[in-house]
Amino acid sequence: MSEVRALRPEPDPVKFAHDSERRVAELLDSYGIAWHYEPRTFVLERGADGNPRSAFTPDFYLSDHDLYLEVTTLRQSLVTRKNRKVRQLREQQPDIRVRILYQRDIERLFATHAA
């Protein structure tokens, strides 16, 4: 059996916010897909004082694919908020490619690609 090698450039271990993010990272590693965890925050709204009022930090950036991934397995209210932020980002910066992986997508991925 061949050894699975993490391709991410960060030397320190990543502290994922949720176990599903860790599992997605392991799946990306197993396919040799380079990734960065939460590398960039996009400011979506600023207040009158110029300070950020709303921002979005996608979970992963797949540099070889120029694609951001947001993993969501949380409550519906949080999914709705993430959908709104992704929609705002797409409207403000249409050149930024971002996809949301929903609970059903993640379950399908792990069922199809279980180790």
Task: Classify residue 43: in a domain, yes or no.
Answer: yes
Task: Name the pTM for this structure.
Answer: 0.80
pLDDT in tens, 52-95: 999 999 999 999 999 999 998 766 667 888 899 999 999 999 99
H/E element, 58: none
Residue 108 belongs to a domain? yes
CATH of the domain at 62: 3.40.960
What distance lies between CA 34 and its chain's CA centroid?
13
Residue 89 φ/ψ, nearest 5 degrees:
-60, -45
Task: Report yes or no on 10 lying in a domain.
Answer: no
Residue 42 in domain: yes
Q: What's the domain range around 77? A: 23-112
Look at residue 89 and tell me if it is in a domain.
yes
Answer whether residue 4 is part of any domain.
Answer: no
* E strand residue ranges, the chain: 36-37, 42-46, 52-56, 60-62, 67-71, 98-101
Number of domains in the chain: 1
